[in-house]
Structure 1
Amino acid sequence: MRGTDRHMDQRGSGAGRRVRPVGRVFPAGRVFPPGRAAFAVVLCTVLVAPGCAESKNGSGADADSTGNSKRSEGTTTTSSVPTDTSSSPAYAEPGPHAVGVTKLAMADGRSVVVYYPADQAATADKPRATYLQTDGIPADVLAGLPQPPEGTDLTVELPAFQDVPADPDGPFPLVLFSHGSGGWNGVYGLPLSGLASWGYVVASIDFAEYGLLASFGGGSGVDRSALGVVALGAADLLIAESAKPTAVLSGSVDESRIAGLGHSAGAGTMFQLLDDPRISAVIGWAPVPPSAPSTTGTPTMIIAGASDIAITPDEAKQAYDLLQAPKRLVVINDLGHNAFGDSCLAIRSGTDLILLAKDLGLPIPDRLLDLGRNGCGSEDLDTELGWTVIQHLTVAQLRSAFGTDSDPVGLGAGITTAFDGVEMTYEFEEK
C-alpha cells in the first residue's frame, strides 16, 4: 500500500507480547530483561552497536560530535536533473518472487546469509524462516547470560522460506551486502528479503573485523582493501554454489551482473569494489565515505537520512562528492541511522531494551542512548514506510545499472513527491 503509514498490531503485554506489523513484512519480537551486567552487554551489542557508524578515520566514533540531526527543508531537487522523468515508485511493494534464505560458509569460516528468489511451488505449506535476536552473540558470551523468563520469544519472522530451491527462472543478478560496524549479517533480513523478491540473490556477508564479534574484542582490525577482497570471495562462493546441480542455489546466480550494497561502515567496504570490472553498481545506505576519491564511473547511489546522527546529511554529501558520475544522492526526511535494518521494529513495539536499561539505572551515556534509538522514535518516519522508499530506490538503481529497465523507472525528479507523507531531497549527476 504505497505511501501509507502502517500500524503495529500489539497483542497482550509483558514478556509474552508478540508484535507484528500489518502489511508487507511479518517480524515478531519480544524481549527480556536479564541481569544488569549481562543486560548491558546484550543492549550495547544487539541494539546499539548494529546502528553505530565507523568514522572516516576508522575510530568508530561519530563524526558529528554535537549530536544534532540535520533535516532537509521541503522537497527539492538540486544539481543536474535526471533525464528520466518517471516518478512511479514501481518497486516499493514486494516483488513477484517468493523468497528463500540459506546460509553458506566461506573458506575462512565466516558465514554468508543468502536471500534469493525461490521456487514458488516449493514454498507451499512451509513455515516462514525465523532467526533469534541473540543469534549474532558469540556462543560463549550467550552461555553466560541469564535465561529469559519462560514464554519469552526473541524470534524474528522473515517473509522468506528456509533452504527451499531457487526459482528455476534464474539466473539472477548478485548483490553483495555488508552490515554496519558492530552489526552482524542476519539483522537485515526483512529489507534484504524485500530486495530478493524483486529478483536478486542477496549475499549478506559477516565481517567480524568490524562486526558484532569485534564488540566482544574478537575483531582483527579493519583493512578496507582486504575486506573488498573478502566480498569478491563471497561472490566466487555464490557462483560456485549456483553451478552445483543439486544445490539449493543451483542456477540462481548471473555472474555477469554483480553489485555491492552496504549499510554505514559496510558501505565503506563496498566502495572498495568500485574499480573492480566485475561490479556494475555500488549503493550505500547511510554510508561511511570512500577511503579515497573514486577513479571510475561505476554507477553509485547514496540513500541517507536527514535525521541521522551517525552519518549526517553533510557527511553523506561528502561521500557523494568523492564519487564519479553517474551518481545519485537521496536524503529522506525523518529517517535515522537504524532505519535500514530490522532493529527499529522491536523498539517501536514497546519492547525497548535501551529505555528499560536507562530506567534500571545502567550507565548508558545519553549519546549512546540517542544513537541506539536513532530512527526508531515516534517522531521518525514509520519503519515500514521507510523501507518501501529505500527498497524502491535501491531496486530502481539496480535495474538501471544492470540494464533490466531500458529506461530508468522511478528515478526521475518526480520521485521526491511520489510517497505520501515522505519528503526527500534528490541530487544527481550524469556521466
Structure 2
Amino acid sequence: MISLAAFSALALAFSAQARPPESPGPIPSGWKDIQYTDPATGSTNKARIYYPALSGGSGATPDPSLGPYPLVGFLHGYGGSASFYDILSSHLASYGFLVASIDNGPVPTALECANLLHWVDIQSQDPTHWLSGMAWDGDWAAVGHSMGGDALGSLVKNEPRVRTIIGLQAWNGSQSSTQIGSFTGSAFWIAGTADATCPPSFSKTWYTLCRNANRNFYFEVIGMGHLGCTDYPSPSDPMPPSEQTRVHKRIVTPILQAEMLGQDGQYEWVVGQGLSYGEPWTRMQLCTSPILWGGFQPTALGIEMGVIGLSGRTCIYAGSLSTGSSSTPFGNSGLNLNQGGKLGSVQLNSNGYAAWSQLLDPRYSGRTVFSQAAVFESLPTGLTGSLSKVLTIQIP
C-alpha cells in the first residue's frame, strides 16, 4: 500500500516536469488557408486550418505520426477573420490539437462551424488528402470569441459531437442563449473586467444558462479587454497586451488537454493554489463530474493535490501503483486497490473546491502512481456521488 510518510525533497523534482501551458508546445505548428465545398450545403467556403507539422509556418507539411489529433472548431468575432487569432490557434496546434477556424464572412455561424468540422473529418479519412490521418474520431470542441461565442449554444444544440465549448468574451444577444440549457458537456466562459463590448455580465449569463453542463466554469480576468484573445489586444486596456495573450494560452490550453485528452491533472494550472497563485482572475464553477488534479506543484510536505465537485460534498481519495477495476458504491474505480488504498478525505467548500498537500514516500521514486477520488453526499436513501477520472502522477 502507498505510504503516507513525508518526503519533502522528492517533491522538489516535480517542478522540472511541468511545462507551463503558455510556453510553446513540443510540436511545430503549421497553418493553411483553404477553400472547401460545404458537405451539407454545397457552397464554397473559406477556413484556416492549424495543425501539428514537421516544421512551423504557412503551408508546412502536416505530421500525422503523433496523431490522430483532437479536432477543435474556432469561431471568430464580428467583422474578424481566422488570422486575427493566429497566435492562440497556432499555440493550440503546438500542443497537438487540430484547429479548424471559419474564415467565411463577418459573422460566423454554428452551421458553418459544424459543417467545417465534418469536412475536416471526412478529409482525414482520405489517404490522398493532405489532412489524411490528422483528425481523431472522438468528441469535438469549439472555441468562440464575441459573436462566435454567441453561436456556441446553437452549435451544441445541433451538433452532438461537440462536447467541450469555450466562450471568449462571448456576446449574448441571440436565441442561441435559449438553446444551451440542455447541453450536458463541459462549458467554459472567460470574461474581462475592462471589456465594454461584452461585459462580464454576458459571460455570467452563459454560465447560469449552462445549468445541465457536467462541468461549468466562469473566469473573470481583471483588467482584460474585449480583444484579449486576438493577436491585437488593445494597448489602452489596464492589462498589457502580452499579458492578455498569455492568460488565454494559460487557461484554454490545459482545459482542452483535460477535457479532450482526459488529462484532468492539467487543471492544476488554472485552479491550483500554488500554480495559479497571483494569476489575475477569479472564477466560479459547478461540476457534477468531479475533477481530481495535482502532481506538478511541490509543497513543504509533498505535492499539491485538489478536487472540484459540488459544494459541501465529501471527497475520499485513494492511490495505487497500478490501474485496474475495483467496485465502489459510485461505479467501478479505475484503480487496482490491491496495490493501494485510501489516502484521505476532505470536505468541499461552498465553491465546490478543496486542496491539500499530499505526502510522498521515497520508496516510489521513479515510479508512476495513480489516484482517484469519489465526491458524494449521504442521503436517507444511501450514498450518491461520482468518481473522478484517474490521475496519473510521475514521481521522479
Q: Is the 8 A contact 2:228 2:248 kept in 1?
A: no
Q: Distance in 2 between matches of 1:308 and 1:277?
A: 31
The match for 1:284 is 167
Structure 1 residues 410 and 384, CA gap change in structure 2 (3 angstroms): farther
Deviation at 1:416, TM superposition (A): 9.0
1:118 to 53, 63, 70: 53
**1:190-243 CA distance string (max 9 Å, x none):** 1111111111000110242526xxxxxxxxxxxxxxx32221110111112212
Deviation at 1:396, TM superposition (A): 1.6
For 1:309, what is the secondary structure of its paired residue? coil
Q: Is the 8 A contact 1:393 1:410 kept in 2?
A: no
1:311 to 182, 192, 198: 198
Deviation at 1:428, TM superposition (A): 0.5
Larger radius of gyration: 2
Deviation at 1:186, TM superposition (A): 1.8
1:102 to 4, 25, 32: 32
Deviation at 1:403, TM superposition (A): 3.9
- The root-mean-square deviation of aligned C-alpha atoms, in Å, is 2.2
The percentage of aligned residue pairs carrying the same residue is: 24
The match for 1:390 is 248
**1:309-355 CA distance string (max 9 Å, x none):** 111112221121111332001111111001111123xxxxxxxxxxx
The match for 2:20 is 90
Q: Distance in 2 between matches of 1:161 and 1:233?
A: 24
1:333 is aligned to 2:230: no
2:201 corresponds to which letter in structure 1? D
Mapping 1:188-207, distance limit 5 Å: 188-207=85-104
Mapping 1:19-418, distance limit 5 Å: 90-107=20-37, 108-119=43-54, 123=55, 160-208=57-105, 210=107, 227-275=109-157, 276-289=159-172, 290-292=176-178, 293-324=180-211, 325=213, 326-344=215-233, 375-377=234-236, 380-410=238-268, 413-414=271-272, 418=276
Deviation at 1:417, TM superposition (A): 6.8
Deviation at 1:184, TM superposition (A): 1.4
Q: Distance in 2 between matches of 1:89 and 1:424?
A: 20
Q: Distance in 2 between matches of 1:313 and 1:305?
A: 6
Structure 1 residues 419 and 106, CA gap change in structure 2 (3 angstroms): farther
Q: Is the 8 A contact 1:179 1:262 kept in 2?
A: yes
Higher normalized strand content (fraction of residues): 2
Q: Distance in 1 between matches of 2:147 and 2:130?
A: 30
The match for 2:10 is none
Q: Is the 8 A contact 1:336 1:376 kept in 2?
A: no
Deviation at 1:404, TM superposition (A): 2.9
2:21 corresponds to which letter in structure 1? Y
The match for 2:283 is 426
1:429 corresponds to which letter in structure 2? L
Q: Is the 8 A contact 2:27 2:52 kept in 1?
A: yes
The match for 2:306 is none
Deviation at 1:294, TM superposition (A): 1.7
Stretches of 4+ aligned residues off by more than 4 angstroms: none
For 1:337, what is the secondary structure of its paired residue? coil
Q: Distance in 2 between matches of 1:194 and 1:283?
A: 16
For 2:258, what is the secondary structure of its paired residue? helix
Q: Which runs of 5+ in 1 are unaligned?
A: 1-87, 129-159, 212-226, 345-374
Structure 1 residues 291 and 162, CA gap change in structure 2 (3 angstroms): same
Q: Distance in 2 between matches of 1:209 and 1:389?
A: 26
1:291 corresponds to which letter in structure 2? S
Q: Distance in 1 between matches of 2:270 and 2:80?
A: 33
Q: Distance in 2 between matches of 1:263 and 1:386?
A: 14
**1:55-100 CA distance string (max 9 Å, x none):** xxxxxxxxxxxxxxxxxxxxxxxxxxxxxxxxx8831211111001
2:105 corresponds to which letter in structure 1? A
Q: Is the 8 A contact 2:81 2:106 kept in 1?
A: no
Q: Is the 8 A contact 1:274 1:294 kept in 2?
A: no
Q: Distance in 2 between matches of 1:316 and 1:332?
A: 12
2:221 corresponds to which letter in structure 1? I
Number of aligned residues: 259
Q: TM-score, normalised by structure 2?
A: 0.61
Deviation at 1:415, TM superposition (A): 5.9
For 1:233, what is the secondary structure of its paired residue? helix
2:122 corresponds to which letter in structure 1? A
Structure 1 residues 415 and 201, CA gap change in structure 2 (3 angstroms): farther
Q: Which runs of 5+ in 2 are unaligned?
A: 1-17, 38-42, 289-396
Structure 1 residues 89 and 382, CA gap change in structure 2 (3 angstroms): farther
Q: Distance in 2 between matches of 1:89 and 1:313?
A: 30
Structure 1 residues 185 and 416, CA gap change in structure 2 (3 angstroms): farther
Q: Is the 8 A contact 2:52 2:93 kept in 1?
A: yes
Q: Is the 8 A contact 1:175 1:260 kept in 2?
A: yes
Q: Is the 8 A contact 1:187 1:342 kept in 2?
A: yes
